[in-house]
Amino acid sequence: MTRKTIKVDVLARVEGEGGLRLVIDGNTLREAELKIFEPPRFFEAFLRGRNYTEVPDITARICGICPVAYQMSAVHAMEDALGITVSHPIRELRRLLYCGEWVESHVLHMYMLHAPDFLGYEGAVEMAKDYPDIVQTGLRIKKAGNAILKLLGGREIHPINVRVGGFYRVPTKRELAPLREELQRALEMSLNAVRLIAGFEFPDCTRDYEMVSLGKAGEYPFNAGRVVSSKGVDITPQEYDAHFEEYHVEHSNALHSRRVGAGSYLTGPIARYSLNSALLSPLAKQAAREAGLEATCNNPFRSIVVRAVEVIFAFEEALRVIDAYEPPDRPFEDVALRAGTGYACTEAPRGMLYHRYSIAEDGAILDAKIVPPTSQNLPSIEDDLRTFAPAWLQQDTNRLRHLCEQTIRNHDPCISCSVHFLKLDIVRV
Amino acid sequence: MAKAPGKPKLAVWKFASCDGCQLSLLDCEDELLAVAGAVEIAYFPEATRGVLKGPYDVSLVEGSVTTPHDLERLKDVRRQSRSLITIGACATAGGIQALRNFKDVKEFTNIVYAHPEYISTLEKSTPIGAHVEVDYELRGCPINKHQLLEVLTAYLHGRKPNIPSHSVCMECKLRGTVCVLVRGAAACLGPVTHAGCGAICPAYNRGCYGCFGPKETPNPQSLSPRLADRGLDERALQRVYRTFNATAEAFQKESERHDA
């Protein structure tokens, strides 16, 4: 029997640097490894000794595509440690900011990174030659998400307005109002987009994932809720460490995660959708139905449809927040320093993002733990390859390689995120 | 893929970074297709699987050098590039990951990973310019996308980019923002920080935190006492200069003056 190794040295159209290695022995797939060689940046190490107020801006730099997620998990964890409850308008503005990031990140992935797989192009720029309308529509929808980030956050990448307890400055009703028209237009474009995307051809690949996301929040989740799974997990973020663990594998500069006593699990759009679809806004629900989605989705190739539905939700939710907005009395809650440990999970575009910080009495960070969605998903992505790829082994090498790349891109892995965090244990002799 | 005749070839390279600066190019929603029409996007793995062989007319380089492998890769990028432009604080000043550079080497020998033998990393995070010749450095964490378009346009037309090197203070004046330092609202690095962001932070009622790095001929030594007046102790003063451009010379020197 011939032994063949298929390599993709640099995975394209993912955020960050990873590669793929498959070892095929005759008709059997021996190994499937997602190699993560993105260099480690040691965030958890250099956060030690920083002041708690600096953490949202520092952790934002873990990821240029989803900085808001890092800011949100950071401020919620600090507020948990310090016993701060934010006012209703602050809570609403945080949801609005997250809407902007979901749109920007999802649309980037759907149109620029993922759609070319379904339409048979190397990338969006090549695709734009034949489908200029699709690419232009994507760019316009994405711009509307970025408009939220720019207005409320100050800029699109690494927004500057988020702080523990609230915002540095909150917008007036009048300042938010002009967003309305742009968001409404983008919502209409997004409804058409779902129809287009639902018409793509999806391989018939499903898997019995353990889906994990925030849930039981009485709302489609961003910043609040319990950590729930399709196989019975139902805990608070404070209990995360007892149920999920990280481990180090040789082929990855990103730690992997598993549920203690269970194994790989999946976080991200299809998990969030499957555990919360009843809580979507009206047009998003309708669009999901028209796109042929059931109440749950376990075909990762259809994640692009779920993202398209979540974009509609994000626009409807953003419009709801803007319409109901009354500015808070003060932009942020005051902080009374105390020593403690705080925990938070929020829903980054790619899935659940866990932060834990211990703070000293003077506000210095003693210890930090950050578990990004992509590192939680890496074992599931490899399981997808092991499950789906054997059926493709007879295809020619280029086709096989492309299908495997697509299997990885289904989960929109953010490798920059997942490798921020090699943990350092400092032992002083 | 064949090279279209006459179009300059653009490559985008990533080293240790968050991807935010190269995302700035994809965030040019109104201009991206025009850019793609003016150049041949020859290497840009975040955006396309398509790869054209070098040499490249313009290379945009994001990220800092933190592994032995990346150092070799960078030298190869330089060899293949007619013009090499660094984009952002990581590529220009080592980035947030350069905070490791201040750790005591002896302390590092006592650091234990889960499996340290799996990891290959250099002791320091260094900017691109520490290793190869750089034709232009664009500042910011993240860069400003309009400045990126300006630099690209300038290089495509063989002229000098029009990127002001004055301080954030000038941008506050242009924007009509009342000085947060003078009115006592916040500690602000604006007087020593390179312009380019549009002075966003003061407009949002907070002080500049220096994400564009030092301006031309800054004087942080005279700013620090003003920040101390705002309640920053020595440790806080040191941290203020040690963020996203911690190893940029002027910020590094000033932070070392506050070694508490």
Tell me how far CA of residue A148 lies from CA of A25, A97, A320, in angstroms: 51, 7, 14
Residues of chain B contacting residue A247, judged by C-beta atoms under 8 Å apart: 114
Give the confidence band of A416 by pLDDT, cuts at 50, 70, 90. low
The answer on pLDDT for A333 being more than 50 is yes
Give the confidence band of A8 by pLDDT, cuts at 50, 70, 90. confident
Choose the closest CB to A422 out of B46, B96, B119. Answer: B119
| Residue A167 Cα, gap to closest chain B Cα (Å) | 9
> Which pLDDT value is given to residue B76?
97
> Is residue A297 part of an annotated ligand binding site?
no
Please give chain B's pLDDT, 260 residues, in tens.
Answer: 444 468 999 999 999 999 999 999 999 999 999 999 999 999 998 888 889 999 999 999 999 999 899 999 999 999 999 999 999 999 999 999 999 898 853 353 334 355 656 666 788 999 999 999 999 999 999 999 999 999 999 998 999 999 999 999 999 999 999 999 999 899 999 999 999 999 999 999 999 999 999 999 999 999 999 999 999 999 999 999 999 999 999 999 999 999 86
Nearest CA in chain B to A247: B114
Judged by a CB distance cut-off of 8 A, whether residue B255 touches chain A is: no
Rounded Cα distance, A228 and A232, in Å: 7
Indicate the domain borders of chain A.
3-36, 43-418
> Which pLDDT value is given to residue B108?
39
> Is residue A44 part of an annotated ligand binding site?
yes
- A57–B45: do the CB atoms touch at under 8 Å? no
Choose the closest CB to B20 out of A54, A158, A250. Answer: A158
> Which pLDDT value is given to residue A252?
76
Pick A43-418's CATH classification: 3.20.20.70, 1.10.645.10, 3.40.50.620, 2.30.30.230. 1.10.645.10
| Residue B214 Cα, gap to closest chain A Cα (Å) | 18
- A57–B119: do the CB atoms touch at under 8 Å? no
Residues of chain B contacting residue A160, judged by C-beta atoms under 8 Å apart: 200-201, 204, 206, 209
Q: Which of 172-201 (B) contact A at CB < 8 A?
A: 197, 200-201
Nearest CA in chain A to B232: A51
Q: What is the rounded average pLDDT of the residues A400-422? A: 79
Q: Please report the number of interchain residue pairs, chain A to chain B, with beta-carbon separation below 8 angstroms.
A: 187
Choose the closest CB to B48 out of A13, A108, A157. Answer: A13
**Which amino acid is residue A423, in one-letter code?**
K
Which residue(s) pair with A72 in the sheet? none
> Which pLDDT value is given to residue A419?
59
Q: What is the rounded average pLDDT of the residues A10-22? A: 77
| Residue B161 Cα, gap to closest chain A Cα (Å) | 23
> Which pLDDT value is given to residue A26?
80
What is the rounded average pLDDT for all residues in chain A? Answer: 92
> Is residue A405 part of an annotated ligand binding site?
no
Angle at B61 between CA B29 and CA B209, to 5 degrees: 75
> Which pLDDT value is given to residue A424?
32
- Judging by DSSP bridges, how do beta strands A166-167 and B9-14 pair with one another? unpaired
Which one of A10, A53, A160 would you mutate to disrupt binding with B, by most B Cβ within 10 Å of its Cβ? A160
> Which pLDDT value is given to residue A413?
87
Query: Would you list the DSSP string of B39-106?
Result: SEEEE-TTTBS----S-EEEEEEESBB-SHHHHHHHHHHHHHEEEEEEESHHHHH--GGGGGGGS-HH
Q: Which of 128-157 (A) contact B at CB < 8 A?
A: 128, 132, 135-136, 139-140, 142-143, 146, 154-157
Residues of chain B contacting residue A151, judged by C-beta atoms under 8 Å apart: none
> Which pLDDT value is given to residue B260?
67
Q: Which of 23-82 (A) contact B at CB < 8 A?
A: 37-43, 45-46, 50-51, 54, 57-58, 61-65, 67
Q: Judge if pTM exceeds 0.90.
A: yes
Nearest CA in chain A to B242: A50
- A40–B24: do the CB atoms touch at under 8 Å? no
- Exposed/middle/buried for residue B229 (C-beta within 10 Å: 0-12, 13-18, 19+): exposed
pLDDT in tens, A166-207: 999 999 999 999 999 999 999 999 999 999 999 999 999 999
Residues of chain A contacting residue B142, judged by C-beta atoms under 8 Å apart: 64, 155, 157-158
pLDDT in tens, A79-99: 999 999 999 999 999 999 999
pLDDT in tens, A354-370: 999 999 999 999 999 99
The answer on pLDDT for A427 being more than 90 is no
- B97–A41: do the CB atoms touch at under 8 Å? yes
pLDDT in tens, A230-271: 999 999 999 999 999 988 887 777 788 999 999 999 999 999
Rounded Cα distance, A135 and B14, in Å: 24
> Is residue A101 part of an annotated ligand binding site?
no
- A248–B50: do the CB atoms touch at under 8 Å? no
Judged by a CB distance cut-off of 8 A, whether residue A11 touches chain B is: yes
Q: Of A5-9, A308-312, A417-421, B41-45, give the lowest mean pLDDT range.
A: A417-421
Residue B11, SS3? strand
> Which pLDDT value is given to residue B121?
75
- A157–B95: do the CB atoms touch at under 8 Å? no
Q: What is the DSSP letter of B144?
A: P
C-beta of residue A320 within 8 angstroms of C-beta of residue A281: yes
The answer on pLDDT for A5 being more than 90 is no
Q: Which of 196-235 (B) contact A at CB < 8 A?
A: 197, 200-201, 203-206, 209, 211
What's the CA dihedral at B176, B179, B185, B191 to 10 degrees?
A: 130
- B19–A169: do the CB atoms touch at under 8 Å? no
Nearest CA in chain A to B125: A41
Give the confidence band of A425 by pLDDT, cuts at 50, 70, 90. very low
Residue B3, SS3? coil
Q: Which of 17-36 (B) contact A at CB < 8 A?
A: 17-24, 26-27, 29-30, 32-33, 36
Q: Which domains does chain B have, with CATH numbers?
A: 9-157 (3.40.50.700), 168-257 (no CATH)
